[in-house]
Amino acid sequence: MAHTPIALTIAGSDSSGGAGIQADLKTFTALGVYGASVITAITAQNTQGVQDVFTLPASIISAQMTSIADDLAVHAIKTGMLADRATVETVVRGLARFNGVPLVVDPVMVATSGDVLLEPDAIDAVRTQLFPLADVVTPNLREAARLLDAPVATSLDEIEEQARRLLALGPKTVLIKGGHCQGDDATDILAFQSGSLRFSAPRIDTRNTHGTGCTLAAAIVARLAVGDSVPTAVSAAKAFVWAAIDAGRTLKIGKGDGPVDHLHTTRRH
């Protein structure tokens, strides 16, 4: 009997449910894979911002990873909010137990609200220790610029050039999300050693975009868990997130930037 596809998220908790662990598990469920989790931090967070963060001790993060490695046949993994250098290094050590499992690194640095979620001393650890393990890294425009100590890209050519520079840090592929760029379409660029691909979708006019980055990375992981290639997984994930943003326009959750509709495929309108 074939194993049930299992996706693992290693990330922070969002108390409002729109991003982080909660968004990842909703996305895994919507895409038909079983979701497991390692919680790295607890945030007091809502649609208006992040009010407080508690980073879990390295020992409990490590214990969670060991517990899963000892029991579950994980098919794909994503990392999200890792908060500080000790957390990054703990996760890197723990990933050795999942050798050969596809890894998507979402280098979460700043929340949609602008709140900082990654301490400055952790950025170098992400670049030098985590990126070389990754099959895909998924920075947005601001994260890519911060990782490279460069200005934020403002054109597709600049985005592709930055993706190439990030590729040199060791990941197999780099997907830079162009949602914050100007224009009628939102275009993401996937760079790999032999070329690149562009994935475009019409821009949707809505404030309800909380958790889009987490959701895209989780959707890629879900598709990798069922055996998709990286380009196929990215294409399917882009379509899923676009539909979640489109459906989420009618959600009335919170007073600020609301979440996307992760479970849009299950709702009756």
Q: Count each helix (H run) and each strand (E run) in the chain, helices first.
A: 8, 9
What is the pLDDT at residue 240?
Answer: 96
CATH number at residue 107: 3.40.1190.20
Residue 207 included in any domain: yes
Q: Which residues are catalytic?
A: 177, 209, 211-214
What is the pLDDT at residue 109?
Answer: 86
Main-chain dihedrals φ then ψ at residue 138, nearest 5 degrees:
-130, 60
Residue 32 included in any domain: yes
pLDDT tens by residue, 108-129: 987 666 667 788 889 999 999 9
Domain that holds residue 86: 6-261
Tell me the pLDDT of the chain averaged across its residues.
Answer: 93
Name the pLDDT band for 133 (thresholds 50, 70, 90): very high
Residue 114 included in any domain: yes
pLDDT tens by residue, 135-153: 999 999 999 999 999 999 9
pTM of the model: 0.95
Considering the chain, what percentage of its residues have pLDDT values greater than 90?
86
Q: Give how many domains the chain has, as a whole number.
A: 1
Residue-by-residue DSSP string for 119-174? -HHHHHHIIIIIGGG-SEE--BHHHHHHHHT-PPP-SHHHHHHHHHHHHTTS-SEE
Residue 85 included in any domain: yes
Residue 93 included in any domain: yes
pLDDT tens by residue, 220-241: 999 999 999 999 999 999 999 9
Residues 6+ apart with CB under 8 A from 69: 94, 97, 98
pLDDT tens by residue, 237-253: 999 999 999 999 999 99
Residue 252 included in any domain: yes
Name the pLDDT band for 87 (thresholds 50, 70, 90): very high
What is the pLDDT at residue 69?
Answer: 98
